[in-house]
Structures are given as C-alpha cells and as structure tokens.
Amino acid sequence: MNRSLLFVVGRPIGHSLSPAMHNGVISRLGLPLHYVPVELPEGRLEAFLRLVREANFLGGNVTIPFKEEAAALSDTRSEEVEACGAANTLVVRDGGLHADNTDGEGFLDALEGRGWGRRHDGVVLLGAGGAARGVAFALGRAGARRIAVLNRTSGRAEDFVRALSPRLPSVTFSTGGIDPRTLAEAFGDADLIVQCTPLGLIGEWEDFPHKAVKKTARFADLVYRAGGTRLVRRLRAVGVSSIDGLPMLACQAARSFAVWTGKEVSGGIFLDYAKKGLKKLEKRDF
C-alpha cells in the first residue's frame, strides 16, 4: 500500500498551522505526500485510528483534546509517551500504530535556537497538562535540578510529579498553586519559566506578577500570537528575555516530519511556513 496521507486530528482544528507547515515542506521537497486537518467529535478517535491503520495514512499529529486518548489507543509507545501519558505524533509501522511525543525535544530545540541552551537548573512550569509533562521530561533529562509545578488544582500537579519523579530521580520536584503570591515566591528561584496553560488563548492572566521575574530569567509561553502573547510582550517590556510558542510548534513539527519520512528539515524552515500561515489566518479572521 502506498501510504501518502498525513493528518492532524483535534477539536477545534481550523486555526492549526500544521497543514501550512507540513504541506509547505512537502512541496519544497517534492514529496508524494499530503497533510490534511481532521476535526472529530468526542468519542470518534478510536474509529478514526482504525481507519488510519487500514487506509493509506503514513501517520499524523494529535492535538487538544486527543493527546492522552491517542497514547492509550496506540499499539506501541515511545519512552516520552510512556512518561508523559500523551502523544502528539503517530506513525503506522507494520500495520500497527506507534505513538511518539516530540513536544519536549521540540521545546528544547526552540530554546537552543534562541541561544538559551538546553540545560536550566531552576524551572517553574505553569500548568500540569500533557504539554507541561513533555516539557518537564525533556528539561529533566537535559539536566534541570529543580522543577516547580504550579497549577490551579493541586491534585493534578501532584499526579504530574508522581508520574515523572521516578523517571527523573536527579530532579527535585515541588508543587503549588497559581495565586500571585505563590508565583512570586517561585519566580525568585527560577532560571526558566514556562507558561503551559491555555491562558492567552482563552483569556488573559490579569494578576501575573511580572515584576517578580528576575531579569536574568528566561520566559517561554507555549501559546503563540502574532507579535507574541500579551505575557511575552509585558515581560519583554520589563527586560525579561521571552519567547512565545511558535518556535516550539515549528521545532516539534520538524521532529514529527523526521519520524514519518526520515528526512531532517530544520525547525527554522518550518518556522518560516508557520509565520506565513499565521498571517493568512489573521487576514481570514479579520
């Protein structure tokens, strides 16, 4: 069977930049592939993945809200997926579905591309979802010594630590809430702060304690907006080096593309197509 289709599955999917990035690179390389967006209602992922195994799909990406379900439904899983419980990349192998997660290493690639390096001693993660787990696992393997997981619900943060701490024995984990006082205290010991919640996408963080962030710290927001998210812009205004989620999106896409095709394409090329796609979305929404 000639497997020539790739996909991104999620809900909603209309604003995904993945088709623009991957189809841009596919066209650039002249490959006989096509990347399509798939929006599914709740309860239909298992049926769709059966189709992926049986039809001419090579693989695809998974985004919100299906990452954890996709990991559970796959036939085999990478170490990253086993650690994080979430998959963002699927590939068909010998008729089965293998789950991978390129979010964490893609995040480190984005930091390295910014000149920040891959190792950061003191890390504060805001949020405790699948993306945060992927980032924490990658940072821990890269040499982080302390990771504070701050989340609105304490139980989810504690589950996060229970899942990852046995795999990262050299990391000291802590948990806490996201009230301004707790954030300010945590920021004092942070070399890197990573914003992993949907805030900035579905609202703004009005009481974020910007002045508590050290000028020597780095701030990364996994949400992206043209010109940077509001948090990124405000932190830059007070002298904190900051990036939004677009470079990570591009770098994880480059790693997914390598999983499917075996071809190494730089995250910078994917980033160029992401920026072009973002401009088109802005014009459409306007």
Residues noted as catalytic: 67
What's the Cα-to-Cα distance from 167 to each of 85, 163, 173, rounded to whole Å?
13, 8, 12
Helix, coil or strand: residue 89: strand
| Beta carbons of 220 and 148 less than 8 angstroms apart | no
Extract the tokens encoding 273. 């197509």
Q: At what angle do helices 267-285 and 246-261 cross, to 10 degrees?
A: 120
d(CA 212, CA 190): 10
Q: What is the DSSP letter of 212?
A: G
Cβ within 8 Å of residue 97, ≥6 positions away: 49, 52, 53, 73, 74, 75, 76, 90, 91
Cis peptide preceding 41, ω within 30 of 0: no
Q: Please report the beta strands in 78-169, taking only residues with DSSP state E, as ranges in sequence order.
A: 89-93, 96-100, 122-126, 146-150
d(CA 89, CA 101): 6
Extract the tokens encoding 9. 């599955």
Beta bridge partners of 221: 195
